Amino acid sequence: MTRVKRGNVARKRHKKILKESTGFRGSSGTLFRVANQGVLKARHYSSGARHQKKRYLRALWINRVNAISRNCGLNYSSFIHLVKKSQMIINRKMLAQLAVRDEQAFYQLVQASKNIS
């Protein structure tokens, strides 16, 4: 059987993994075997973190809308109920953007939802 020399291929593969593991502590960032395990685990965690990010952002939007809607004399759940009852098609992300960037527009939205229902 002929001998297979993997010099370039192995080096490229190792460099790719070691480049991805920069910033890891200790030998996890420098030695290939340990770095390979660390990179595999980091990829596993990153897939779960993408879902957690969505949860975190939705909670953040709800907190922002709740804070400004309390200034208007409503709590979050009653405000969302009024918005749905008045058939306004606006999601929590847009409500949070209005709350942060343009409070007057948010107050007008609250008044409009109170008047309709």
Residue type (1 letter), 59: A
Distance, in Å, from the CA atom of 106 to the CA atom of 100, rounded to the nearest integer, reads 9
pLDDT digits (tens, 9 = 90+) for 28-43: 999 999 999 999 999 9
Q: What is the pLDDT of residue 35?
A: 97
Residue 116 neighbours by CB under 8 Å, 6+ apart: 85, 86
By residue count, the chain amounts to: 117
Distance, in Å, from the CA atom of 5 to the CA atom of 22, rounded to the nearest integer, reads 28
Domains of the chain by residue range: 7-116
The pair phi, psi for residue 17, each rounded to 5°, is -70, -45
Place of tokens 């990829």: 43
pTM score, whole prediction: 0.75
pLDDT digits (tens, 9 = 90+) for 62-99: 999 999 999 999 999 999 999 999 999 999 999 999 99
Show the 3-state SS of 54-72. Answer: HHHHHHHHHHHHHHHHHHC
Place of tokens 């960037």: 101
Structural fold of domain 7-116: c-terminal domain of poly(a) binding protein (1.10.1900)
